[in-house]
Amino acid sequence: MTIARRNSIDLESTPYYHIVSRCVRRSFLCGEDPVTGKNFDHRKQWLVDRIKILGDIFSMDVCAYAAMSNHYHLILHVDLDQSKQWSDRDVIERWGTLFPKSIAATAAAGQPLTREQKNAVDLQVDTWRERLSDISWFMRCINEPLARLANQEDGCTGRFWEGRFKSQALLDEGALLTCMAYVDLNPIRAGIHQTLEDSDFTSIQERIQAYQQNRKNKAKQQEGLDKYANQPSQLLPFDAHPDEDDTQITLPMNFTDYLTLVEWTGQAIRDDKKGAIPVHITPILQRLSIDENQWLGSVKHFHSRFYRMIGKLTCLQKACRHMGQSWLKGLGAVKALYINPTN
């Protein structure tokens, strides 16, 4: 039975969500079509560019993404506090940027409005504010423009994406880490690329490039070239030990630790080796109460093992109660992944 979107996305339970959107009939409309021989890889860049644009407009942070040949993955963090702090003028300008032919765009440009138009803007500001922190509107603003571009390029009409995107709630840090590794490793698991740094149109490649560039910039700064400042990625940053006074939202670990873990996981999955997790990686998983013996299987089969929510049992039970549910698929996989699933 299909679950209403308002019942599957509950920001009181978690602000983190894994999103998947597929092309119609899972056709290779964003990659190399093995039937026609046509290559549509350039549409992956359309997608990445659109995600970046919307990340600056909506009150959302992008944690991870991967653009594949017939679908894409996206992990979002919804920042409700940010949208509440925006002035009405901020909201109008953001909404006007999204919809340049709307009354919001007219107001944002400072053009004269009639009394009726001013009243309409005043009445719509709160609605626009809510939509700018709404995942469904974020996805709509990705998929609709890209579908129009692709259909125009193909000289056709009709659907480009499946009717509904799929979402999974990530209820704790362990769930977030497992899902991010799953998303970042998608091109490697699909046999498209062999290394993380060569995985085009992915967040892990973007993070690696930003990390390498920042190391070069720091070296130049030490040489007295102060004009070289850090150039951070637009993605939500990593920080294992944020300052208490720091209000910036960060991912709960060091990037180098995450990179080491994901790289080893990709090699182990690609080579079909069971093996033991190296000693230098084990503490990363233990810190998040993840069973290292279940880690590889959980990353490899993330989308099939876990249903609409993933997290420790206590988090799942709390979220289910809040959403009025009494049972949830995937409890067995959760019990296996976490060392102490009830804590």
Confidence (pLDDT) at 234: 78
Confidence (pLDDT) at 230: 43
DSSP state of 58: S
Tell me if the pTM is above 0.85. yes
Confidence (pLDDT) at 2: 53
DSSP state of 240: S
| 86 in Cβ contact with 129 (< 8 Å) | yes
Domains of the chain (ranges plus CATH)? 5-86+132-337 (3.30.70.1290)
Buried b (16+ CB within 10 A) or exposed e, 30-51: bbeeeeeeeebeebbebbbebb
Confidence (pLDDT) at 228: 38
DSSP state of 79: -
Buried b (16+ CB within 10 A) or exposed e, 225-243: eeebeeeebebbbbbeeee
Please give the distance of CA 26 from its chain centroid, rounded to a whole number: 20
Confidence (pLDDT) at 299: 92
Confidence (pLDDT) at 224: 54
Report helix, strand and coil shares of the chain as percent, to nearest 5: 50, 10, 40
Q: Which of 180, 179, 188, 167 is nearest to 334 (CA)?
A: 179
**DSSP output for 112-141:** ---HHHHHHHHHHHHHHHHHTT-HHHHHHH
Helix, strand, or coil (residue 18): strand
Q: Which of 29, 21, 10, 48 is nearest to 202 (CA)?
A: 48
Low-confidence ranges of the chain (pLDDT < 50): 1, 225-231
**DSSP output for 157-219:** -S-SB-SS-EEEEE-SHHHHHHHHHHHHTHHHHTTS-SSSTT-TTBHHHHHHHHHHHHHHHHH
Q: Is 7 exposed, middle or buried (0-12, 13-18, 19+ CB in 10 A)?
A: exposed
Radius of gyration (C-alpha) of the chain in whole angstroms:
21
Confidence (pLDDT) at 273: 53
User: H or E element: which one contains 77?
Assistant: strand 71-78
